[in-house]
Each structure stands twice: as structure tokens, then as C-alpha cells.
Structure 1
Amino acid sequence: MVAYAACGVVLLAGCASMPDSGDLQGVESTPRQDSQVRVFAMPPQEDAKPPTIVQGFLEALTSDDPHYETARKYLTPEAAKIWRPERTTTVLAEGPGIVVEPAGGRQESDDLLFTLTGSKVAAVDAQGAYAPADGNYHQSVHLVRNQKTDQWRIDGLPQGVVMGKSDFQRNYMSVDKYYFASNTTSGTAAQAVAVADPVYVRERVDAMTQMVRSLLSGPTTWLGPVVRSSFPTGAELRKGVTALTPDDQNKLTVPLNDRAARVGSTVCERMAAQILFTLQNLTPAVDEVALEARGKQLCSLPEERADDVAARGSVQDPEYLYFVDGKHRLVRIPADGSGAKPDPVPGALGEGDKDLQSVAVSRDEHTAAGVGIDGKALYVGSMVSGGSLGSPVLSSAGATAKDRLTTPSWDAEGDLWVADRNPRDARLLLLEDGAGEPLKVETPGLDGRIKDVRVAADGVRIALVVEKDGRQSLLIGRIERGEKSGGRSLVSVQELRSAAPELEEVTTISWAGDSRLVVVGREREGVQQMRYVQVDGSTPEGPPPAALTGVKEIAASEDDQLPLVAYSEDGIVRLPSGAQWQKVDADGTAPVYPG
């Protein structure tokens, strides 16, 4: 490997010495480089041996070559035409191993067969959607020797690319693109609710243009049924536009094709908001988006106005942090940590005589729900001083507290979710507006009993901790709503998928961003740990939260500027940014932010 540090370029050369047949060999993963360093591969050398061709090709897959032009030089012209590297990315625990076998068993043949092996970790599809994977990877690569040039080239290979986990982490990054919830508003018909759709893109191959193209192409398959895009069908970048770059005022102009030429100002601003939300964490910064079609500006939206167009959980600022005090009443303190002494919440749950085990506060902070100390009854009350509580809105017949009601959770529509863990009638329930007859939520494919429930701020995704045979799993589901006869909603949770497949024990969870959760759990034969996970099952960049022992419950806000809060062996503790855990209330339990 030759490095040109002054230019920020690293060249990869496939020059390792390998035998022509027999043993398993490994392809070394490229050491993780600084994010500003670009990596380019070397083309095949003259008279390179077959194993060197294979290794050079695999190394070229991990480079920053935008169109894999160098990798194609390791292929025959026919193979280069039909190879589609963008179709899928297979991630292995280590760089792929190589088993070399001469075709037909002849050492001096003009064609050779190589087998790539490894342990699968994940796969990224053509949409950029990440999915955890396991099992063995086993794919063949066939080489032939050109009779005229005497050079070896690959003429048979699997579609897509393959690389080790460390190379994947160096080459790719996760970015949220944004759409709008199909059946959800933020309480007013005018404002849409933004939903994050995480995808992986190559980090140093014009990520900004990649993300705009990905956004225009539509949501990933999993999220598609519950979101919509403001972009008209068929809207794309104008023909000939190959790169998007903001100007010196951080304004990005996006030229679109004629399909977008007739949109109105409201729709146009929602289109611009989708782009602004999507590009907010990329470099260079984008502070304003202007959309053009047919050479004319359609609209322009600065960052400070984007949140007026659509609501996002990550920018909703809760006023208070809530928890249950030593007297089993609902209390609160300012969410920003400016006050230390908890005050009782106005209303029956804070001022009354009901002993509470767990609580949830609506996102507008006007209504609270609480589960009684024995887990049997769910109460809902207005947070107005002097308000009465009334009868429970839901009761469980489970034999023990662990077989009764979970902690409830409010969605963006003001509906209340809770699970009844009674083994004889385990079910997920929804109370519309927190009242009325509980609606049973259909959960096709659910295998196990729900232990915990958390609805995302966008109202279209739900996190469930599901227990089976003593093991807990964190699953993310898609909330679909419809109408059935009698006027009652038909609600279901579809396509549950794992967000933390390596954990076998999940103690507590909380949403901690538009597409991120914080989880306390334990791997097999491991110790309890706290970590962040993405809804797609990948691990976000950055350090985990500071360690804390004996965590029983965790609370985070989608706004990552607010402190992480936990109930541990020290009571209620808080983790301000850049600080260590601090004690809030020695007798408190069940901390929650609104939601």
C-alpha cells in the first residue's frame, strides 16, 4: 500500500503472495482510515497470478472508486458488463477468506475456481437498507486465462460486493432520509409528521448527491406502506446533473426534471423540508434548499423554517422529566435539569391516593397514564389540579405483577399503547385518545410475549421487547392503520424485525432519536451493558453512554440534547452531556420523558 498523505489518498494494491491451490487464505481488511482520507485501488499488474487477481479485486471493492472502474479491470469485458456492484453489499465478520481449487483438478489449466468464505454479519440491499444476517458466506469466483495476452481475469462472480466489517465501517455511513407519516399529523392537519428512513451510503463518494437521489427514489420497502413523499411520481434530478454542492452561503440548489414543475408552494416546501432533514448531518452543511424545474425556482426553504413545515421527534422539546417518587406519586422536574426538587404533577396521579408502578405522559404534556402498584389497573387523568381519576380504563387478570400490564406509551396522535402480559390472554392494546374500549392490535408473526412497549414520536414505528423461553429480543414493527365496519380503527403491527440480534436479555429500552434507541441488556454469557442501536439493527457511530451498574429502567428523549435518565440502584440518576451520572432522587423510580 502506498499512501499519498498530502493529497488525502490511499492506494490499495493486490500484491499479497498466495498459493495457486489448496489452503484457506484470508484477505486482510484495510485498517480504518481517517474519514478525510480517500482510498483508491491499484489496477491488476502485468502477469499477476490468479490469487493476486482475486485479492486485488476484493481490495478494489473497499476503495472509494465511485463506479468501481478499477475493480472492473480485474474482470473480463463480458463479466464487467453484467456485474452490478450496487445490487447488494454483503458484510462479513472478517475480510473474505479464499479457497483455491484448480478447475478439473489440473494445476496448469486455463481456468481456476476460487471460493470466497466467511461469516455473514449483515446485508445492505440496492435501496441502502441494512439488515442483520448470520450463517456462512460461500460464493464462487471463476478465473480464465486469455489465450492472446496470457493474463488472468475473473469471468464469473456473484452480483454485488462483499467486504469485512471493518472495511464496511470505513466505507459506509448511515444517514436518515425523511418522508411523512401517511396517517399521522402532529395534532393539526397542516403540519406533517416526519419519519426517518435510515439507509447506508458510501461515505466519500459524494454522499450528498447519493442521498438526494435515494430520497427521490422513494422510501425503503419496509417503511413504504406507512409513509408518503411530497415529490411527484417520477421526480428526479434534471438530466445531466451529476453532483450537488451548496454555495458559499450553504444554500443548496436542486434542479429537478419536469415532473416537479407544477407543484404548488406548500408541496414544494415539504419537498425542500425532506431534503433539509435528510442532509442535516452531512458535510458540507446545508442551511437552505432551493428547488428548480425548467430553469425556474419553485421555492426556497431555510433551515429555521423547516420545522414549521413538518414535526420531528428530535426537535420536539419536552418541558419536564417525569418519574414516580418514594410515595408512588407522579412527580416532575424541568427536562433541562435546571431544577433539582421534584414537584407533584397537577391532577389525580400526582395529588391523589393511587400508588403507581409505572407512568407515561402524553406528548403534549396534558394527560398522564399510570399503572397501579400491583400492575393490575391502568388509569388515565388530565394534568389539571383538582382533577378526578375515575375508574381504571383497563384491567389485567394476570396472576402476578410480571403477568400484568406493561409500562404504557403515548403516540403522536394521542393514543395510548400498553401490553397485557397475562399468559392466558397476552395481547397488545390501543386506547384511542387514552379512553374507551381497548382495541386489540393485531401482531402477525409475533413469537413470544410482549414485555415492554415504546411507540416512536412519528407514530408509525413501535419498539417491543418480546420474551420467549427466557430470552428477550428487541423488535421494531411498522404500525398500520385502517378502517373496519362499525367505525373502529383496524390497527396492526407488521413485519417485526430485530434491532439488537446479539442481545439475549433486554432489561429496558427507550427511543433516543428519530431512528435510534438506547438499550440496556446483556449478550450471551456477558454482563449488563448500555448501548445505542439503530432501528435497522446496525450500530450507530459514536461512543455508548457512560457505564452505569444495576440499571432497571432507562429514559431518553428523541432530542439528544436532553440528558439520559435511568432508574438504578442509586435511584433516579441523570447523565448530562459531557458529564458523569448524577443523582436526582434516591427514592424515585420509573423515569419517563413525554411519549
Structure 2
Amino acid sequence: MRRVTVALALLLALSGVAGCASVPGSSPVQILRRVTEGETAVLPPGPVDGTDAGGLVRGFVEASASSTDDYGAARQFLAPEAQQWDAGAGFTVLEPQFDTVPAPGASDPSTDVTRIRIRGTSVGRVTSSGSFEPAPAPVQIDVTVVRRDGQWRISELPDGVVVPLDEFRTHYRGVRTWFVDPSRPVVVPDLRYLPSFPSRAQAARVMELLLAGPSGALLGAVGSQLAAGARLRSNVALSETGALVVDLTRVGDLDEPGRRLLAAQVVLSLAEVNVARVQLLVDGIPLLPERPVLSREDVADLSGDTQPGADVPALVAAGGRLRELGAAAAELPGPVGNGGFDVESAASTVDGQRLAAVARSAGRRLLLVGGGAEAGVSEVGLGAADMSRPSWTPTGSEVWTVLDQTTVARVLVDGSGPPRTGQVNADELAAFGPIQDLRLSRDGMRVVAVVAGGLYTAAVTRGIDGEVAVRNIRRLRPDDLGEVVSADWRSAEAVVAITRRPDRLVAQVSVDGLSVQGLLVNNLTPPLGAVAAAPSRPFLVTDQSGVWSFAGGDQDAWRQVLGAAPDAVPFYPG
């Protein structure tokens, strides 16, 4: 097998030839130029003369982060007999700290042949589809090095690459590819990673990823307007007007809404790699005749990356009452705000038009749902000894909660009648232990959950038989987070969690677990009890004295926004 990178390039080139028979005779003649023109690769430095065997292997691992010229930088560390190394056979990302030490039983380094062990901890792997999958585990890889003409080179090594996380971040960039929400006419993001160089090759790679379908994390949860046999008729190229020409074939029959969704998938994905204008064709004819050249603004209304409106305030449940969280801290009208219900936690829809609340009653928990505080809320026949903080789907037609840390329940409030209760198949998630917290993402495609103190993400799948399930479960950063208390969605690509770990009380974690970043924790008094997050809003946490806010940027400390409320549960819409 030749290397994956070469195979993909050949496949892309051949796809253009195979589709030429369907070019319509009326297609306009265009002057095109290759997107990859004019770039010269700059490779990391090769081995330094006089480097010892361990140092040579370390240099090889660091150089392996660059895939340019079929991993040309890393190949400089290889002896001629090792040049058949297949870099595309696997891609493991290591923690930044790793060792290169003599392997057990290795020859004395004064000889001309020895073995060196690469020793570290895997963060996870990057798949051939460019997605990251967490897989923390010890890593030990032995390679053979030989000394010839006074210089060490690697003569034998296993296929695949191992790359330190810091080098991966230097040489790769995250991009969002967009796929279709099967339950509503919008597209939603799916995080992938592309080589940062050459930048002009990224548009072609994005199209490869779209044609290949969603990542394993969202498999079964999202769809695509690109049929299984769809492909490019020719390589993507720039027209003389600067638009990127993308000519597809075998896309199948699409109605007008389907064509617009396909346009949104392509245009929003390419916008991630700085493609501002796309001339999107199917068999040489514009996909949308009324808009032969498309920009992000033309399809922005089809993005399902939902954000709470700026005019919808954060709320907080404290002392059994709901109130706005702000300077006024006014209690909400009606029994949810005046103490008529003993409210423990709550959630509002993204637009703030509907409210769900968990209330304590005679040692049990009840779920209340309604059109908002002023419209009133009522019981929906769902009760348990314990009930998690609720969350809403993006349409506001379902609210989810966890009963007794075992059963994920949903209540349908779609306006077709009184609220109806249903269940979510979360057996795979519950197999890891008690479900202590669960939050739907604001695009409705995923959940983040705290299960037996671990942080997990999973996809929400909806079958044609009406079954709703939680699948494709990933545990995120167990060694870095320790025991997790609660979590919320910062964006479609990131979650924020509070933990029992003193040096990382609050952490932001990418949805795939690739990155984890501790937030400032001064002013906070642990243990923390609740957390809330939303795009472009300050982080909110509850400590032993009340609710605190942190907006980042130049802010150098958390600021208290509600005092004397250690039981408070703040929340943003969604």
C-alpha cells in the first residue's frame, strides 16, 4: 500500500476525468488556475550532525507533525532501508512530554546499531477523515537506529506517526465541516483538523471531507445532501474573478430546499479555510441559478449553530425562587419567582419563550413546563427522587432531564396537544455509571454528560421509527480533569466543566477532547456546585458564597454577581 496522502491526491485527480462525459455543451468557458499555485513548502529542520541516537529519534517525532511533501521533514531522519515507512497508517497524538530512551536490552550506544524507545501518553488519534478521537493510553514504540559515517539514522520503525500535542497544534488547524440536521432544515458543524500548510490545498481537502461524510462522533446523528456517489468533476480551482469553482456530479435529484442545504454545506465549510466566494456547479451548471456565486452571507440563515439572543437574560434558581441574574436580580413573576414552587433548577429555550423547572415537593422532584414565567408553568407528570437540571432542544419542542441518575427522559411540548413524556435510549451512557448531569448542545446534535464523575460527550440520533438515542460516546480528558461535578456548552465545539481538582476547578474542553484549558480560579471558594456557559457570554459558576462571573479578556478575577446563595444554579437560554 502506498501512502494515504498520495492515494487521496490520485483519487481526487481521477474523479475529474471520470465526470467529464456529463459536461453540458452550453457551459461557459472560464479561465481557471490551480488553487495550489505559487506556494513553496517550508519544512522543519532535519537532523543535526552529531546528534545522539535518542536525540535523533526525538527530532524525528517532532518533525513528523509536518505532512508536507509526504512527511519529507521526518524522512530526513530515516536510513535508505526505512524509506518505505507508511506515515498514513495511523496518527497518534501524544501529550507534549515524552521520552526517547534506550529500549530494554538495547545494544551499548558505543556500537553502531541500537534501539530507542519512544515513551509517552496518547491523547488520542486523528482519523483519516481528519477528526480527533480521544484514546488516552500509555505509548511505547521501539525503533532501530544505525550509525553510518558517524551519523545516526532510523533503520527500522513501525508504520504510522506519533506527534506531540504542541507540534500538532503548530502544524494543524481546526475547521468546521457542515452537515444536515435531519429533523430541521439547517446545517450543523462537525470539527475536523487539516494541515496548516500549504493553505491553498485546504479547500480541496475540505471538499474531500464533505464527500466522505460526517465524522464518527456524529455518525447517525447528521446527514448530507451529498449522495454517497457524489464527487468532484474536476479539481477545485479559482476563476479569473477570484471565486473558487466547485463542480460536483452525481449529487442526485434535489428540490430547492435540498439545493440550498447543499450550498450551505459547501459554502460554510469552505469559509472555514478563508474561501470568501464559491461558484458552485453541478455538472457544469450553477446549483442555484439565481445565485451563481455564493458567499457565507447567502446561506447564513441555514446555519444551525444556535446562539441565545442578546436580549434573553441569564437566570438563576436560588433559595427556591427564579430570578434574573444581573444588577437588578429581580424575581420572576408568578409562582416560580415568588416561592409558590420550591424551584431547584431550571432552563429556558434559546428565545426565552418557554421555561422548564425542577421543583422540590415532599422529598421528591417534579418537572414543571410552561410558556414562561408570566404565562405560568404546570406539572407534566414526571417525578423522581432526583432530577437533573433540564435543557431544551433548539426548536423548543423538547425538554430533557435525567431521573434518578439512570433514566434520560424527554417531554414533548410541540403545541400539538398537552405535553407528552418519552424516554431516550441512553443505555450505552448509563453503562458507565450514574448520570449526574446532562446538557443538550444548542444545535441539538450532542449531549455533554457527567457520569460517575467523568466528562462525556455523545451524539443524539433519531431513528425513522421515532427512537431517540445517545450514541458515539467519548470520555474527555480523565487524567486532566479528575472528578467532574457539572458541565455546560460554551459553543458547538467546546464545553466548560467544574471539577474537584484544586488546580483546575474550571476548565474549557474541546468537544472532541483534543484540548483542555484551565480557567482562572482566583476569588472562588471550592467546592463549586454549578456552571453555566454560552457563546459570547461570561462564564458563571456557583461556589460556597454565591454566583461568580468571568468574561475573560482583560478581566483578571471572577466577580460576584449574586451573594449569599451557595445553592444557586445559574443558566443561560438553551
Q: TM-score, normalised by structure 2?
A: 0.77
**Structure 1 position 363 matched with structure 2 position 363:** no
Q: Partner of 1:561: helix, strand, or coil? A: coil
Counterpart of 2:420 in structure 1 is: 436
Deviation at 1:476, TM superposition (A): 0.9
Distance in 2 (CA, whole Å) between partners of 1:543 and 1:233 is 41
1:475 CA drift (Å): 0.8
2:341 paired with 1:349: no
Q: 1:410 aligns with which of 369, 387, 392?
A: 392
1:381 maps to which of 364, 369, 390: 369
C-alpha offsets along residues 456-506 of structure 1, whole Å, 9 cap, x if unaligned? 122221111112xxxx1111122223366xxxx433222321123222221
| Corresponding letter in the other structure for 2:297 | E
Secondary structure of the residue aligned to 2:427 is coil
What do you get for the CA RMSD once the two structures are aligned?
3.7
1:272 and 1:289 in contact (8 A); partners too: no
Which residue in the other structure is 1:549 paired with? 524
Corresponding residue for residue 50 of structure 2: 17
- Partner of residue 36, structure 1: none
How many residue pairs match? The answer is 515
Q: Provide the residue aligned with 1:466 in structure 2.
A: 451
The equivalences for 1:161-200 within 5 A come to 161-182=161-182, 184-185=183-184, 191-192=185-186, 194-200=187-193
Per-residue CA distance 1:77-136 (angstroms, 9 max, x = gap): 775456143632342443551536899999877x76544333323322222222333333
Map of 1:507 onto structure 2: 485
**Separation in structure 2 between the aligned mates of residue 59 and residue 505 of structure 1, nearest angstrom:** 32
Task: Give the alignment of 1:195-594 within 5 angstroms.
Answer: 195-206=188-199, 207-241=202-236, 252-260=243-251, 265-282=256-273, 285-299=274-288, 300-313=293-306, 315-317=307-309, 319-324=311-316, 328-332=320-324, 340-345=327-332, 348-350=335-337, 353-373=340-360, 376-383=364-371, 387-391=375-379, 393-396=381-384, 398=385, 404-413=386-395, 414-421=397-404, 426-433=406-413, 435-439=419-423, 441-444=425-428, 446-467=431-452, 472-482=453-463, 489-501=466-478, 502-523=480-501, 526-539=502-515, 544=519, 547-550=522-525, 551-557=528-534, 560-576=535-551, 578=553, 580=555, 581-586=558-563, 589-594=568-573
**Residue aligning to 1:62:** 65
Shift of 1:154: 5.0
Alignment partners' CA distance in 1, 2:141 and 2:175: 30
Counterpart CA distance in 1 for 2:369 and 2:124 is 45
The aligned amino acid for 1:88 is: F
Q: Is the 8 A contact 2:347 2:357 kept in 1?
A: yes
8 Å CA contact 2:320, 2:343 repeated in 1 = yes
User: How many Å apart are 1:74 and its aligned residue?
Assistant: 5.0
| Structure 2 residue aligned with 1:89 | 92
Matched to 2:100, the amino acid is: G
Residue 453 and residue 10 in structure 1: after superposition, are their counterparts in 2 closer, same or farther (change >3 A)?
Answer: same
Unaligned runs of 5+ in 1: 1-6, 28-51, 186-190, 334-338, 399-403
**Distance in 2 separating the partners of 1:447 and 1:365:** 34
Give the alignment's TM-score, normalised by structure 1.
0.75
Report the Cα distance in structure 2 between the residues aligned to 1:105 and 1:324, rounded to whole angstroms.
66
Contact (CA 8 Å) 1:320, 1:332: kept in 2 or not? no
Q: CA deviation at 1:292?
A: 2.7
Letter in 2 for 1:320: V
Secondary structure of the corresponding residue to residue 298 of structure 2: helix
Match of 1:40 in 2: none
Question: Deviation of residue 235 (structure 1)?
Answer: 3.1
1:432 deviates by: 2.4
CA distance, structure 1, for counterparts of residue 318 and residue 217 of structure 2: 43
2 CA distance for matches of 1:535 and 1:213?
22
Q: SS state of the match for residue 393, structure 1?
A: strand
Q: Relative to 1, partners in 2 of residues 1:420 and 1:261: Cα closer, same or farther, differing over 3 Å?
A: closer
The residue that corresponds to 1:33 in the other structure is none
Corresponding letter in the other structure for 1:561:
S
- Sequence identity percentage: 24
Q: Which amino acid counterpart does residue 423 of structure 2 have in structure 1?
A: L
Once the two structures are superposed, residues 211-242 of structure 1 have per-residue CA deviations (whole angstroms, 9 ceiling, x without a partner) of 3322332111231111111223233444344x
Whichever residue aligns with residue 269 of structure 1, its letter is R
- Separation of aligned partners in 2, 1:576 and 1:229: 36
- 1:99 matched to 2:92? The reply is no
- For residues 129 and 82 of structure 1, the distance between their equivalents in structure 2, rounded to whole angstroms, comes to 23
